Structure 1
Amino acid sequence: MGLSRKEQVFMALLGASGVAGLTALILFLVEAASVLRPTDIKFGIVFDAGSSHTSLFLYQWPADKENGTGVVSQALACQVEGPGISSYASDPAQAGESLQGCLEEALVLIPEAQRRKTPTFLGATAGMRLLRQKNSSQARDIFAAVTQALGRSPVDFWGAELLAGQDEGAFGWITVNYGLGTLVKYSFTGEWIRPPEEMLVGALDLGGASTQITFVPGGPILDKSTQADFRLYGSDYSVYTHSYLCFGRDQMLSRLLTGLVQAFSNFYYTFHFLNLTSGQPLSTANATIWEFCQRSWKLVEASYPGQDRWLRDYCASGLYILTLLRDGYGFSEETWPSIQFRKQASGVDIGWTLGYMLNLTGMIPAEEPAQWWAQSHSVWVATVVFLVLTLVAVLGAAAVQLFWVQD
């Protein structure tokens, strides 16, 4: 005896639900692809406590890193209001309080859950070196006040230290080469690659009380005290770096230079004012500086209205830079064009802070990106359609079964 019509409909709906459900399952399993979920972003804060002012830099990088080193970008640059921390010798507590405004700006950009894991460091340079030579107890009091202020902030405070001149130069070298893409570079094939070592450049750093020179030498470094070693993006680097304390013990000249020269940026600011940052030859730089210095003060004031704060210093600063590069470091008419005067490289401020953070990322554990399954949009739509058909067929079969029982 054959099946009744209701039985036939019930069996057909049941079979359709099975086919649709099986099809949805196959689409889900076969077409699904393994993808890597983007990793979290890590943050780091570095205070550059220079001779005339302090700056805060907030950096960020993907947590998975690249060959052991973070691919770091600058998220914030904030100049602290007021003078450098060495100026607070008579009121050390104010040195710590002065940092709070910029720190609060940085914290706004860091998710609250990550603030306690954000490494924060303050490095002091020329101004504090001079103060330590003059009065070591006052220098200690300022460092203690800064440590207390930053230590109670909701960050992972790594300390406040006097940065050695060699460290300042070496970290600055990292910053320059990273910004120029000579340490690591993103290729057209979508991979991070190491450019040829011949592309590395040297770095000149001009500070309020010292000047640094850093480069990869052509032979072995005989004086190991001038050698700095780094491992960045899976490669080892040994650089020669030396700090020259120019006017470090001459208080009158150091007061003249304080405020004139601040890290790398002074090379740029002075020569930018004199319109000498476009690759002009040494003879043009020499003639331009001397022509400016020979102008009368009234003519200078009339030519540059609204620039009274730094205007008086550009002559002395320009002559000093010219003498330092030509007579001190030995740049000639032939080699002068190889000098680039820059304020930034690839959107980051040139200085020691980024180099410090890049080196620091090597000590922070990486996080592997999470793996999960995903489908293309069209396959996902088809899977949903077959699941809906399965549900409709099951409900239809249930309805037929219900009416069948009632009959």
Structure 2
Amino acid sequence: MSPRLLRVLGWGSAAALGLLTVAVFVLVLIPAKNAVLPTRIKYGLVFDAGSTHTSLYIYRWPAHKENGTGIVSQVEACSVSGPGISSYADDPAGAGASLKPCLDKAMQVIPAEQQRETPTYLGATAGMRLLRAQNSSKAEQVFAEVSKAIGQYPVDFRGARILTGSEEGSFGWITVNYLLQTLVKFSFAEKWEQPQDTEVLGALDLGGASTQITFQPGGPVEDRNTSVFFRLYGTNYSLYSHSYLCYGQSQALKMLLAALHQASSSAEISHPCYPRGYQENLTVAELYDSPCVHAPGSASPGLVLRVTGTGEPGACGAAVQRLFSSSCGARGPCGLNGVYQPPVRGQFLAFSGFYHNLHFLNLTGGQSLSLVNATIWQICNSSWEQVQGLFPTASRGQLRDACPASSYTLTLLLQGYKFNSTTWPNIHFVQQVANVDVGWTLGCMLSLTNIIPSEPLTEVTELPRRIWIAATVLLAIMLILTFCLLTAMCYQRSSSGYEQL
């Protein structure tokens, strides 16, 4: 091999060694930086088993929490076909079967590898409270069947139970304030922070069998039975909350009809809240099928009652008002039926039945109290034909109840919860906030994230991108030089063989 070629190879080897040394120094001396891996997402399922229907809500939140509470968002909602689970008292298996289509949908949303760790809850409200009061064994059978149905799916089922009225009201309050970012908000610094000097809102919920009011009063709550404490995002909250069983819309209208029947003392009932000319028949057993109404001892369960609407706004309002007792006695400030309630304070979000009843009459856009009164008076003064003409796509039940439901809503807010012409503008009627349904389930999920273990952010050591580029270039140079060296060695061996020959 020629001396010149050897010198070249020597310089090439030396250069390769030098470049390798430089690469090592570069990789060692240039500091690495820490990078945060994307936070793992957790999922949760909550069934809202109400008195008239059931819905399944799918939520998710980052495994890393903010001050102990998850930042929860709604992924999807699924409405269960059929009535509420309390209606399956005589067919418990049907209650469980009704949930399966929505569970199937949830399994399509949640990644398969995370389904078994997805906490799943079923909360039943006033409908099951009434069934338990009526027949506790039937209520237990319904719960057994829905638990059996949910247990067939690969989720972390944590039980079905009846929420207390206080829980239902408080969870609704959490939902309202979370969605309006009065508990925690995303700042311009791109992080979640607790808002400063922000007033929380009250929550008004009207279901089929109960109604709830929850707000932060101006002073201490004097009745401990209506006092609720929460800790969310590192802050303590002291609230007033009360739930009235039997004063949800369906049960209240049943009480109204029962009172009219007992006042008539006959099988013919004139209903001043139903449109003029409307008629329907029902039996005594159908009317008195709830613990909220008590049949007179002389009434025969099979007796057919004929109900005729008379469309009288004044008489309707008076009949609805008689459902409430306005006496506070010696207990100081009170709300519905003499129950202790501090004066309402601040802004309120009214949802569920409050929203649906007034939205049907296009009264959820901030209308004045006088306009709301006038509109309800007009609908209550209408005939059956007029109501059908005004709302051609509505169901028979919606048309029949347009007057009594809106009258009851207004009376409950004014006479029951003690709003007035001054505080009326503070009520905001909503169905959703930021495309999320307003109700107790989101608040429940947020509260439950307090007891679901948090996962810390994971940091990994990440070399800067320029180092990887430099290392790749050096590796390529070294490979080229190695190839040249091997080629030269082969050439040298070949030359030596020819010289021997």
Q: TM-score, normalising length from structure 2?
A: 0.75
2:283 aligned with 1:196, yes or no? Answer: no
Q: Which residue of the partner structure matches residue 254 of structure 2?
A: 252
| Pick aligned residue for 1:395 from 450, 474, 483 | 483
2:356 aligned with 1:354, yes or no? Answer: no
Q: Which residue of the partner structure matches residue 81 of structure 1?
A: 81
Q: CA deviation at 1:197?
A: 5.2
Q: Which residue of the partner structure matches residue 366 of structure 2?
A: 279
Query: Any conservation in 2 of the 1:20–1:387 contact (CA below 8 Å)?
Result: no
- Supply the distance in 2 between the matched residues of 1:284 and 1:250 (Cα, whole angstroms): 24
Query: Any conservation in 2 of the 1:54–1:80 contact (CA below 8 Å)?
Result: yes
Q: For 1:124-145, what per-residue CA distance to the aligned partner results, in whole angstroms no more than 9, with x for missing partners?
A: 1121111112222211111111
Q: Which residue of the partner structure matches residue 323 of structure 1?
A: 411
Q: Which residue of the partner structure matches residue 182 of structure 1?
A: 182
Residues 1:13 and 1:183: Cα distance change in structure 2 (over 3 Å): same
- Supply the distance in 2 between the matched residues of 1:192 and 1:296 (Cα, whole angstroms): 54
- Supply the distance in 2 between the matched residues of 1:250 and 1:232 (Cα, whole angstroms): 34
Q: Which residue of the partner structure matches residue 220 of structure 1?
A: 220
Q: Which residue of the partner structure matches residue 338 of structure 1?
A: 426
- Supply the distance in 1 between the matched residues of 2:68 and 2:358 (Cα, whole angstroms): 38
| Pick aligned residue for 2:356 from 269, 281, 289 | 269
| Pick aligned residue for 2:384 from 293, 297, 305 | 297
Asked which structure has the greater RCO (Cα within 8 Å, sep 6+), the reply is 1
Residues 1:250 and 1:348: Cα distance change in structure 2 (over 3 Å): closer
- Secondary structure at the residue paired with 1:222? coil
- Secondary structure at the residue paired with 2:489? helix
Query: Any conservation in 1 of the 2:46–2:123 contact (CA below 8 Å)?
Result: yes
- Supply the distance in 1 between the matched residues of 2:171 and 2:446 (Cα, whole angstroms): 9
Q: TM-score, normalising length from structure 1?
A: 0.91
Q: CA deviation at 1:276?
A: 1.5
Which structure has the greater CA radius of gyration? 2
Q: CA deviation at 1:399?
A: 2.6
Q: Which runs of 5+ in 1 are unaligned?
A: none
Query: Any conservation in 1 of the 2:69–2:233 contact (CA below 8 Å)?
Result: yes
Query: Any conservation in 2 of the 1:31–1:379 contact (CA below 8 Å)?
Result: no
Residues 1:274 and 1:250: Cα distance change in structure 2 (over 3 Å): closer
- Supply the distance in 2 between the matched residues of 1:403 and 1:239 (Cα, whole angstroms): 91
Q: For 1:294-341, what per-residue CA distance to the aligned partner results, in whole angstroms no more than 9, with x for missing partners?
A: 122211211221212422222111111111111221222221111111
Residues 1:250 and 1:21: Cα distance change in structure 2 (over 3 Å): same
Residues 1:214 and 1:27: Cα distance change in structure 2 (over 3 Å): farther
Q: Which residue of the partner structure matches residue 129 of structure 1?
A: 129
Q: Which residue of the partner structure matches residue 3 of structure 2?
A: 4
- Secondary structure at the residue paired with 2:213? strand
Q: CA deviation at 1:98?
A: 0.7
- Supply the distance in 2 between the matched residues of 1:162 and 1:119 (Cα, whole angstroms): 17
- Supply the distance in 1 between the matched residues of 2:24 and 2:460 (Cα, whole angstroms): 17
Residues 1:285 and 1:19: Cα distance change in structure 2 (over 3 Å): farther
Q: CA deviation at 1:375?
A: 4.8
Single out whichever of 84-93 and 246-255 deviates more from structure 2: 246-255
Residues 1:382 and 1:270: Cα distance change in structure 2 (over 3 Å): farther
- Secondary structure at the residue paired with 1:317? helix
Q: For 1:18-38, what per-residue CA distance to the aligned partner results, in whole angstroms no more than 9, with x for missing partners?
A: 344345445555264311111
- Supply the distance in 1 between the matched residues of 2:25 and 2:185 (Cα, whole angstroms): 42
RMSD: 2.3
Single out whichever of 139-148 and 383-392 deviates more from structure 2: 383-392
- Supply the distance in 1 between the matched residues of 2:21 and 2:80 (Cα, whole angstroms): 65
Aligned-residue sequence identity (percent) comes to 51
Query: Any conservation in 2 of the 1:81–1:98 contact (CA below 8 Å)?
Result: yes
Query: Any conservation in 1 of the 2:36–2:459 contact (CA below 8 Å)?
Result: yes
- Secondary structure at the residue paired with 2:198? helix
- Supply the distance in 1 between the matched residues of 2:225 and 2:483 (Cα, whole angstroms): 82
Query: Any conservation in 1 of the 2:70–2:446 contact (CA below 8 Å)?
Result: yes
Q: How many residues were matched structurally? A: 400
- Secondary structure at the residue paired with 1:199? coil
Query: Any conservation in 1 of the 2:211–2:247 contact (CA below 8 Å)?
Result: no
